[in-house]
A = this chain, B = another copy of it.
Amino acid sequence: MERLGAQTIKLQNPPTIVEVASIVGPKEGQGPLAKYFDQCLEDEFWGEKTWEKAESKIIKETVNSVITKSGVPADQIDYCFAGDLLNQCISSSFGLRELNIPFFGVFGACSTFVESLCLGSIFVDAKAARNVLCATSSHFCSAEKQFRFPLELGNQRPPTSQWTVTGSGAAVVGENGSGPYITMVTPGKIVDMGIKDANNMGAAMAPAAVDTLITHFRDTGRKPSYYDMIITGDLGYVGKEIVCELTETKGYNIKNNYEDCGVLIFDKEKQDTHSGGSGCACIGVTFSGYFFKQLKDKKLNRILLVATGALTNATTSQQGESIPGIAHAVAIETSIN
């Protein structure tokens, strides 16, 4: 393992993303990426009594699915890295309590999926683990209830607001395999530019994404054009535009090969989600569903996956606090030089 520049790590024996799995809710199942997901649920409860229990079931079944699909015996998956948006990350801890795999709870808000990939790939490259499991989930109903208003209130949403993705994405990362490989990780710093609007998470998280992107380019000497695609997690339409503008002012043009999962997951015309999708599962399912397949089919060969998180809660919003953001990045490539 080699440290590059300020905060990037180049993996010595790049771990393979052996397999992925994704389960999504009904709205995501009506969106443009529907055919890429393993399973699209018909309702938000999936037979459970509460949204929290439904979310736990979604991550549980997604994790069971990725283990089965991977063909890796569960006793060769040495550690699990998982987290979610619910208070005290209960979706992960309740959903995965029967997993019987040593568990590292992580919290990076909507950056959790890539935070897990950062930690997991370092464990594998360091030979601390043969295989690891990385997982996350979110649920529109449990998130709205917890962070904003009771759904029953039918509250109006402002144009900058985003729609929390219901679903779970999971990946098995291992020392053996033929790619796609995690080649570099650039964990991010907390960046707080003073945005206080809890209905404009894209703007709150965008500066953190820019900080991590610029740092990654400087640390590695790579230009944006090195990547077939640069992908952020859930900045949505508002945050994506800010990232394009801010990176340009820093001398980097990413407009030609940049996408955001919050923009991709819902149809702008037919599904009115205002500024797009959000939530831990947004990048989790869009990567595990859509982008992983593009990599396996070699339609994409080099991507930079950047997940962004808003490190806030309902109390801090009420106390007038601003919203700190964070972004973690991993470079994923189909061949290793």
Contact residues of A with B, CB < 8 Å?
Answer: 1-3, 7, 9, 50, 52-53, 78-79, 83, 85-90, 93-94, 96-97, 99-109, 115, 118-119, 122-123, 125-130, 187-192, 311-316, 319, 321, 324, 326
Return chain B residues, CB-CB under 8 Å to A188.
102-103
Instruction: State whether A97 touches B313 (Cβ < 8 A).
Output: no
- 5 of the cross-chain contacts (CB-CB < 8 Å) are A89-B107, A103-B187, A104-B119, A105-B107, A126-B128
Instruction: State whether B88 touches A311 (Cβ < 8 A).
Output: yes
Instruction: State whether A97 touches B3 (Cβ < 8 A).
Output: no
Q: Which of A50, A78, A103, A125: most chain B Cβ within 10 A?
A: A103
Known: A100-B189, A324-B97. A312 touches B88 (CB 8 A): yes
Instruction: State whether B314 touches A103 (Cβ < 8 A).
Output: no
Q: Which of B1, B87, B102, B104 contacts A88 (CB 8 A)?
A: B87
The smallest beta-carbon distance between A49 and chain B, in angstroms, is 8
Instruction: State whether A187 touches B102 (Cβ < 8 A).
Output: yes
Known: A52-B316, A86-B313, A107-B105. A324 touches B128 (CB 8 A): no
Return chain B residues, CB-CB under 8 Å to A314.
87
Instruction: State whether B106 touches A107 (Cβ < 8 A).
Output: yes
Nearest first, the 9 A-B pairs at minimum CB distance are A126-B126, A93-B311, A88-B313, A105-B107, A102-B187, A87-B313, A107-B107, A97-B190, A87-B87
Instruction: State whether B311 touches A90 (Cβ < 8 A).
Output: yes
Return chain B residues, CB-CB under 8 Å to A324.
93-94, 97
Return chain B residues, CB-CB under 8 Å to A187.
79, 102-104
Return chain B residues, CB-CB under 8 Å to A313.
86-88, 90
Known: A107-B89, A312-B88, A313-B86. A102 touches B52 (CB 8 A): no
Known: A99-B190, A122-B126. A312 touches B90 (CB 8 A): yes
Instruction: State whether A128 touches B88 (Cβ < 8 A).
Output: no
Return chain B residues, CB-CB under 8 Å to A2.
127
Instruction: State whether A78 touches B7 (Cβ < 8 A).
Output: yes
Return chain B residues, CB-CB under 8 Å to A108.
104-105
The smallest beta-carbon distance between A84 and chain B, in angstroms, is 10
**Nearest B-chain residue to A316, judged by Cβ:** B90
Known: A78-B7, A125-B126, A315-B52. A105 touches B94 (CB 8 A): no
CA distance A187 to B115 in the complex (A): 18
Return chain B residues, CB-CB under 8 Å to A85.
88
Return chain B residues, CB-CB under 8 Å to A93.
190, 311-312, 324, 326
Instruction: State whether B90 touches A1 (Cβ < 8 A).
Output: no
Return chain B residues, CB-CB under 8 Å to A89.
107, 311
Return chain B residues, CB-CB under 8 Å to A115.
104-105
CA distance A89 to B96 in the complex (A): 20
Q: Which of B79, B96, B129, B315 contacts A190 (CB 8 A)?
A: B96
CA distance A243 to B101 in the complex (A): 21
Instruction: State whether A83 touches B102 (Cβ < 8 A).
Output: no
Instruction: State whether A53 touches B319 (Cβ < 8 A).
Output: yes
CA distance A85 to B316 in the complex (A): 14
Instruction: State whether B105 touches A315 (Cβ < 8 A).
Output: no
Known: A52-B315, A126-B126, A324-B94. A88 touches B107 (CB 8 A): yes
